[in-house]
């Protein structure tokens, strides 16, 4: 236990924040930072909702570098926080290393799978939600050309794009799907100017519905689409209100719900794999007063039917992760 | 006290003082550049300041112009105590300065250059018209005719200098400081300048002339101050002194202005040069078919006004530049194409004391010992192993060279920039001559070098000749060419105008050749 | 040029700059309603108060030593290599190539291969801008920074399409074999009986970094090549006079610089992550510029400056961990240190020089 002595010495200086007798839940954001207008921010909103409803307090940390992953999760566990929600698949290795050292602490990993007894792995079926908005895009498109703009070119975003393209092709088999990625660095998540440029380029190629799965970059896509008087599709949270009547729908990925649920369950949170798919309402499409005029009854009926088939397993949407390829579109 | 000091008041009852400096001192680190200097300069006179390089002339004038702040001392302008913390204050006090290297914007017109920094507002129109008017007034008054709409880079050097003078006068300068003004001028342009300066004096302006050329001092100044090692050794009336006396005051001992040497005993052919041609990057031909040869034990002097191809010739022979033609050293061909470089030349026994020691011959930030290895860093005696250099060996060698070539201070770890010009040059000379080269290329060996060092360097060059080596000497100083060379070739416009025997020819004849006039 | 003694120039001036930077940082912390003294204490104890903190500080410092040396070597040769980021990225690729495809029986063999591969890949990435500079005159500042982007794009392509194990969510290569796990600093120190925390990423790469400091010093100040590089850096014109080939010097300087940058990957890719990640360089290439500036392009200075930045990184992480000081502010503190020690150096140097002059006069 000599190493714990070091920790004791280190944590002794932590009197600043220590002092909570009852274990608070904790949320550790990934490198993008708390306000990434994407999934970290969505998690933050879930935590805030929990805090407002229960009046409870929680701890939070933002990772800044690769070397800090293990460091931050470990140090957070040492403060006694429980459960600890950790964002992003980038931390799969981290939790594989750290979780066994803290058997009494529950960890919740968003967007990744870790097989440890004290870890709850939450996966979202992005391809299923994307499939549904792809169907809507195809039905709303008059030119039979639709666009997809991803953020950074990583497998997760390809998963979005692949599901989307499959949905499009399911409605209009010979439709054209133009797919672009914003960039190759973290900056691609927050480059609305480039997002706008890409959108304009796709519009000039005939696209009249564009799905942005690009974090903050998507703001530029939605703006450019609204300016050009065509339709766009938001992502993660309900973005229909950003340009009412111009945003066809939003592909919902309820990270906030996952965080909220984990916080609410507290130390008793269940571990194991959780698949936040259509059936579990982890993903879906947004329908509200801002876009009700855009979605006709028959569009809604078609999509809901597909959703039911997917939920029941009758319709299988190809999962990009299984073989790193996509039958409907090439990136 | 090495010499007797003479102090004469330059002021008389009729001529009040334009400038008086009292007890000016300035140190740069351990180097005392100016030490307790006092000068009086009478209004409407031309006052010369002469001294060896590193004597502190330029520092003193920079203090007067507000570039440096003196550690101690006071400046009086027209009898009033006037602190000069910056050059703006100097301009306000009526001081104008013409630098050795002009501070003009080459692609501006004369008029634009003159008003630059004195525009008098954001809108140029009025200032331009006003400047045009006063420029033509000034030009008439002082015989300083320059086309105000000419672009400066198209002007000759002499005319560019006029623009500098006009700039100062436009700013109402009553006191004009010129730093080594003739260094860049042809003899004719220099004469022109002196006429202008005399004109300025007649109009009541005060002129301070910094130079190390005794002839100019004797020719034009009314009074002269001599500086040595940061101190003022004397201020005398020019009419009452002689070049020999001034030279002695400068160096603190008698110097020989002419070089003692025995007649040459030329041996076998060392260097044969045939039909050299060089184009610069703009395609202009700078060497237009040069041919000559040098025998062992012979000094060939190349005379000419700067910029007539001498630099290109030296650089081509030294392997720095590329060109066409044939060069043979001891009968063996020397490459002039891309395979040539300074290393292969040194391997062949060609040493090179370059014209520009500060930018070519030395690395100013390197220490003396690092500079001694410069160019000879492959020399076997400087290596410890295949990879490592033997720095100790270089340092030991440097101490030895410094002693034999009288480099002061003899500190091998001192950066080159902290040596005076003359000692920097001695360092280069020591490095290049000490290896007994077959052929020595030497350009402007005494440019900006004090008289003591000139004498020493000249002796070294002659000694190398007497040891049976060939020397190619390029210099714009006619005195130097005349006194050192065994044969003189004159270059003009990339060609050799003719060869003369220094014993037979005279400066007039050479001057005509330098101007491109062939009888 | 002044009466300032050497120690004041090398130690006192940077120290005062540092104090000013920390003082202003303190004001900023105060302005957002936190206690600057407590924050400072937290940084110091967090980074230097335990072997755990030291481990992280040294881990970061190792990165900065490599990139700082890389910038220094190029800078001594008059070249401004700001492509450390891309060269280290490629160095990481080299490490991955060496570790993924050859089943080394022992870490020591793998380490030798990784050092070689990382330096080779990093140098190769610097070679193209170097060639363009030497032969075509395209400025390395422009080309190296462009090559950072190309390196990043190349790595994304390779990690997403080629090196990523099938089905993996993360854009990262497979794990290197267990035999290639490098000894951690605590393992090494245990050999000489010094207890050291084992939950930190400091590893044997630190020793390679220290050896590189000595190596660069030897290279620059003891070898003929170093002599020529320095001469070339001071004056290209004079170098040509001395027969030093500018093309060759540009190539050598950039190759050595790129190799040093690439070697940083041994620490991050092999020592810490044990696999190739998308962003394992994380700006260390750019921090290397600040480290080289502050360290006056001398290996000893680089070492000290790298330790300082290691301290700032780890201390900053502790601030983020235990206070509500936002992480942007921690970057502000780091930026202030760079600003005062690098860019505004003269602001402190002049008054200090003046002070020494006064003191000297007072004595005289």
B186-228 pLDDT, tens per residue? 777 888 889 989 999 998 999 999 887 777 888 899 999 998 8
Query: If pLDDT is split at 50, 70 and 90, which confidence band does A15 have?
Result: very low
Q: What is the pTM of this model?
A: 0.79
Specify whether the CB–CB gap between C248 and C240 falls below 8 A: no
| C1: closest chain B residue by CA | B29
Closest alpha carbon to A177 in A131, A225, A222, A223 = A131
DSSP E strand boundaries for B296-417:
298-303, 324-329, 332-333, 350-353
Question: Stretch B457-469: mean pLDDT, rounded?
Answer: 94
Specify whether the CB–CB gap between B269 and B331 falls below 8 A: yes
B364 to each of B418, B419, C5, C135, how far by Cα in Å?
8, 9, 21, 27
Domains in chain C: boundaries: 64-312
Whole-angstrom Cα distance, residue B176 to residue B206? 6
Q: Looking at domain B269-514, does it have CATH number 3.40.50.300?
A: yes
Test C170 with A74 for CB contact under 8 angstroms. no
**Closest CB to B29 among C2, C225, C237:** C2
pLDDT of residue C363: 60
> CB distance from C240 to chain B under 8 Å?
yes
Dihedral angle over CA of A95, A98, A103, A105, nearest 10: -70
Residue B401 above 60 pLDDT?
yes
pLDDT of residue B252: 63
Residue B516 above 80 pLDDT?
no
Query: If pLDDT is split at 50, 70 and 90, which confidence band does C251 have?
Result: very high
Residue B122 above 80 pLDDT?
no
Sign of CA dihedral C58, C64, C67, C68: negative
User: Higher pLDDT residue, C211 or C328?
Assistant: C211
Whole-angstrom Cα distance, residue B162 to residue B184? 13
Residue A2 above 50 pLDDT?
no
Query: If pLDDT is split at 50, 70 and 90, which confidence band does B405 have?
Result: very high
| C228: closest chain B residue by CA | B377
CATH fold of the domain at B1-94+174-192+205-250: Rossmann fold (3.40.50)
What digits encode the pLDDT tens for the residues B357-399?
Answer: 888 999 999 999 999 999 999 999 999 998 899 999 999 999 9
**C51 vs A contacts (CB less than 8 Å):** 6
Test C327 with A71 for CB contact under 8 angstroms. no
Q: How far is CA B99 from the centre of its chain?
A: 13
Whole-angstrom Cα distance, residue B144 to residue A239? 77
Test C60 with A111 for CB contact under 8 angstroms. no
What digits encode the pLDDT tens for the residues A70-94?
Answer: 999 999 999 999 999 999 888 998 9
Question: Stretch C90-107: mean pLDDT, rounded?
Answer: 95
Question: Stretch B170-174: mean pLDDT, rounded?
Answer: 89
Fold identical between A2-125+258-266 and A126-252+283-323?
yes
pLDDT of residue B7: 43
Sign of CA dihedral C49, C50, C55, C58: positive
**A57 vs C contacts (CB less than 8 Å):** none
Proportion of chain B above pLDDT 70, given as a percent: 92
Whole-angstrom Cα distance, residue C337 to residue C22? 7
From A140's Cα to the closest Cα of chain C, the distance in A is 32
What digits encode the pLDDT tens for the residues A31-50?
Answer: 878 887 778 889 999 999 99
> CB distance from C45 to chain A under 8 Å?
yes
Question: Stretch A54-79: mean pLDDT, rounded?
Answer: 90
Residue C58 above 80 pLDDT?
yes
pLDDT of residue B27: 84
Chain A interface test: which of C35, C170, C172, C205 (most A C-beta within 10 Å): C170
What digits encode the pLDDT tens for the residues B80-116?
Answer: 999 998 888 999 999 999 987 788 888 899 988 888 8
Instruction: Calculate the average pLDDT of chain C.
Output: 91
pLDDT of residue A64: 81
pLDDT of residue A14: 41
Residue B15 above 80 pLDDT?
no
What digits encode the pLDDT tens for the residues B49-89?
Answer: 987 666 788 889 889 998 888 999 999 999 899 999 888 89
From C205's Cα to the closest Cα of chain A, the distance in A is 15
Question: Stretch A197-216: mean pLDDT, rounded?
Answer: 94
| C167: closest chain A residue by CA | A321
Specify whether the CB–CB gap between A219 and A154 falls below 8 A: no
What digits encode the pLDDT tens for the residues B128-150?
Answer: 888 888 888 888 888 788 888 88
pLDDT of residue A22: 64
Test C169 with A33 for CB contact under 8 angstroms. no
Question: Stretch B440-451: mean pLDDT, rounded?
Answer: 85
Test B373 with C227 for CB contact under 8 angstroms. yes
Residue B251 above 70 pLDDT?
no
Specify whether the CB–CB gap between C147 and C129 falls below 8 A: yes
Whole-angstrom Cα distance, residue B432 to residue B428? 6
Test C225 with B387 for CB contact under 8 angstroms. yes
pLDDT of residue C223: 96
Domains in chain A: boundaries: 2-125+258-266, 126-252+283-323
| C162: closest chain A residue by CA | A324
**CATH code, residues A2-125+258-266:** 3.40.50.2300
pLDDT of residue B12: 44
Neighbours of chain B (3+ CB pairs under 8 A): C
Q: Looking at domain A126-252+283-323, does it have CATH number 3.40.50.2300?
A: yes
Specify whether the CB–CB gap between A98 and A77 falls below 8 A: yes
From A72's Cα to the closest Cα of chain C, the distance in A is 7
What digits encode the pLDDT tens for the residues B496-506?
Answer: 999 999 989 88
Q: Coil, strand, or helix at residue B293? A: strand
| C277: closest chain A residue by CA | A66
């Amino acid at each position: 236990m000599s190493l714990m002595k070091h920790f004791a010495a280190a944590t002794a200086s932590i009197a600043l924040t220590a002092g909570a007798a009852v274990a608070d839940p904790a949320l550790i954001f990934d490198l993008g930072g708390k306000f990434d207008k994407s999934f970290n921010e969505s998690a933050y909103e879930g935590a805030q909702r929990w805090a407002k409803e229960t009046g409870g307090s929680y701890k939070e940390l933002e990772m800044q570098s690769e070397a800090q992953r293990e460091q931050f999760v470990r140090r957070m566990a040492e403060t006694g926080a429980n459960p600890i929600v950790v964002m992003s698949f980038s931390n799969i290795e981290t939790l594989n290393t750290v979780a066994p050292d803290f058997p009494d602490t529950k960890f919740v990993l968003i967007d990744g799978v870790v097989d440890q007894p004290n870890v709850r792995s939450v996966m979202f079926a992005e391809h299923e939600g994307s499939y549904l908005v792809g169907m809507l895009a195809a039905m709303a498109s008059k030119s039979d050309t639709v666009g997809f703009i991803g953020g950074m070119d990583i497998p997760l975003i390809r998963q979005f794009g692949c599901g989307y393209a499959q949905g499009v092709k399911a409605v209009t088999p010979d439709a054209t799907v133009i797919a672009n990625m914003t960039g190759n660095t973290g900056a691609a998540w927050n480059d609305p100017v480039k997002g706008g440029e890409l959108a304009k380029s796709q519009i000039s190629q005939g696209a009249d519905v564009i799905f942005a799965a690009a974090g903050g970059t998507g703001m530029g896509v939605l703006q450019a689409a609204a300016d050009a008087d065509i339709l766009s599709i938001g992502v993660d949270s309900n973005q229909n209100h950003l340009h009412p009547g111009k945003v066809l729908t939003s592909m919902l990925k309820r990270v906030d719900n996952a965080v909220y649920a984990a916080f609410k369950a507290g130390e008793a949170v269940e571990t194991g794999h959780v698949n936040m798919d259509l059936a579990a309402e982890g993903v879906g499409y947004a329908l509200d007063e801002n876009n009700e005029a855009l979605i006709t009854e028959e569009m809604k009926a078609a999509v809901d039917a597909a959703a039911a088939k997917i939920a029941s397993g009758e319709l299988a949407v190809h999962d990009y992760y299984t073989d790193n390829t996509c039958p409907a579109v090439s990136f | 006290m090495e010499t007797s000091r003479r102090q004469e008041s330059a002021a008389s009852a009729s001529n009040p003082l334009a400038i008086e400096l009292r007890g000016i001192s300035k140190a740069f680190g351990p180097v005392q550049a100016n030490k307790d200097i006092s000068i009086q300069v009478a209004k409407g006179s031309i006052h010369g300041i002469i001294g060896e390089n590193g004597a502190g002339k330029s520092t003193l004038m920079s203090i007067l112009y507000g570039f440096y702040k003196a550690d101690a001392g006071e400046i009086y302008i027209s009898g009033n105590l006037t602190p000069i913390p910056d050059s703006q204050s100097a301009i306000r006090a009526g001081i104008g300065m013409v630098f050795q290297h002009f501070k003009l914007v080459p692609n501006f017109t004369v008029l634009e250059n003159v008003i630059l920094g004195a525009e008098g507002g954001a809108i140029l129109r009025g200032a331009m018209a006003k400047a045009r008017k006063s420029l033509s007034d000034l030009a008439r008054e002082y015989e300083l005719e320059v086309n105000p709409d000419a672009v400066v880079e198209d002007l000759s050097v002499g005319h560019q200098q006029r623009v500098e003078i006009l700039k100062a006068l436009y700013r109402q300068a009553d006191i004009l400081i010129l730093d080594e003004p003739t260094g860049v001028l042809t003899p004719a342009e220099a004469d022109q300048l002196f006429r202008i300066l005399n004109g300025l004096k007649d109009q009541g302006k005060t002129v301070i002339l910094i130079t190390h050329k005794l002839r100019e001092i004797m020719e034009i100044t009314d009074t002269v101050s001599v500086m040595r090692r940061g101190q003022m050794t004397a201020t005398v009336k020019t009419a009452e002194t002689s070049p020999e006396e001034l030279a002695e005051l400068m160096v603190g001992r008698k110097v020989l202005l002419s070089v003692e040497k025995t007649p040459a005993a030329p041996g076998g052919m060392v260097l044969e040069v045939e039909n050299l041609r060089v184009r610069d990057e703009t395609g202009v031909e700078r060497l237009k078919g040069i041919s000559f040869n040098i025998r062992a034990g012979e000094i060939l002097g190349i005379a000419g006004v700067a910029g007539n191809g001498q630099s290109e010739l030296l650089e081509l022979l030294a392997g720095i530049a590329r060109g066409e033609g044939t060069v043979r050293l001891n009968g063996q061909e020397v490459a002039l194409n891309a395979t040539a470089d300074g290393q292969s030349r040194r391997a062949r026994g060609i040493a090179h004391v370059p014209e520009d020691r500060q930018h070519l011959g030395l690395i100013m930030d390197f220490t003396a010992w690092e500079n001694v290895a410069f160019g000879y860093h492959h020399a076997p005696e400087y290596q410890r192993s295949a990879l490592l250099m033997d720095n100790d060996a270089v340092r030991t060698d440097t101490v030895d060279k410094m002693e034999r070539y009288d480099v002061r201070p003899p500190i091998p770890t001192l950066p080159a920039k902290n040596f005076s010009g003359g000692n920097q040059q001695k360092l280069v000379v020591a490095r290049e001559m000490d290896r007994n080269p077959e052929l020595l290329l030497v350009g402007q060996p005494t440019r900006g070098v004090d008289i003591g060092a000139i004498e020493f360097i000249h002796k070294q060059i002659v000694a190398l000749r007497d040891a049976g080596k060939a020397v190619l000497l390029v210099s714009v100083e006619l005195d130097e060419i005349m006194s050192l060379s065994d044969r003189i070739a004159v270059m003009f416009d990339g060609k050799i105008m003719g060869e003369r025997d220094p014993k037979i020819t005279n400066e007039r004849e050479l001057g005509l050749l330098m101007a491109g006039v062939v009888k | 040029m002044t009466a300032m003694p050497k120690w004041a120039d090398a130690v006192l001036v940077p120290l005062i700059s540092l104090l000013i930077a920390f003082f202003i940082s303190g004001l900023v912390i105060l302005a957002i309603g936190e206690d600057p003294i407590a924050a400072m204490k937290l940084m110091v104890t967090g980074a230097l108060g335990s072997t755990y903190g030291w481990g992280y500080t040294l881990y970061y410092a190792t990165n900065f030593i490599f990139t700082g040396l890389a910038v220094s070597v190029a800078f001594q040769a008059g070249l401004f290599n700001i492509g450390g980021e891309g060269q280290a990225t490629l160095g990481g690729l080299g490490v991955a190539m060496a570790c993924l495809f050859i089943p080394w029986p022992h870490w020591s063999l793998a380490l030798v291969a990784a050092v070689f591969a990382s330096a080779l890949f990093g140098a190769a990435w610097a070679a193209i801008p170097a060639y363009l500079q030497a032969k075509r005159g395209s400025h390395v500042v422009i080309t190296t920074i462009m090559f950072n982007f190309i390196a990043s794009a190349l790595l994304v392509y390779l990690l997403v399409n080629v090196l990523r194990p099938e089905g993996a969510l993360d854009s990262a290569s497979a794990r290197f074999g267990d035999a290639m796990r490098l000894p951690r600093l605590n393992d090494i120190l245990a050999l000489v009986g010094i207890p050291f925390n084992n939950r930190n990423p400091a590893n044997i790469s630190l020793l390679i970094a220290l050896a590189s400091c000595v190596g660069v010093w030897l290279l620059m100040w003891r070898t003929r090549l170093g002599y020529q590089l320095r001469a070339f850096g001071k004056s290209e014109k004079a170098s040509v006079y001395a027969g030093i080939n500018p093309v060759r010097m540009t190539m050598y300087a950039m190759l050595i610089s790129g190799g040093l940058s690439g070697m940083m990957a041994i620490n991050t890719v092999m020592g810490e992550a044990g696999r190739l990640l998308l962003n394992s360089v994380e700006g260390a290439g750019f921090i290397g510029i600040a480290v080289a500036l502050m360290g006056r392009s001398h290996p000893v200075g680089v070492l000290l400056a790298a330790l300082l930045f290691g301290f700032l990184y780890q201390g900053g992480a502790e601030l983020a961990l235990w206070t509500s000081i936002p992480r942007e502010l921690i970057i502000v503190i780091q930026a202030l240190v760079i600003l005062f020690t690098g860019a505004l150096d003269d602001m402190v140097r002049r008054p200090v020089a003046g002070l020494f002059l006064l003191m000297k006069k007072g004595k005289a």
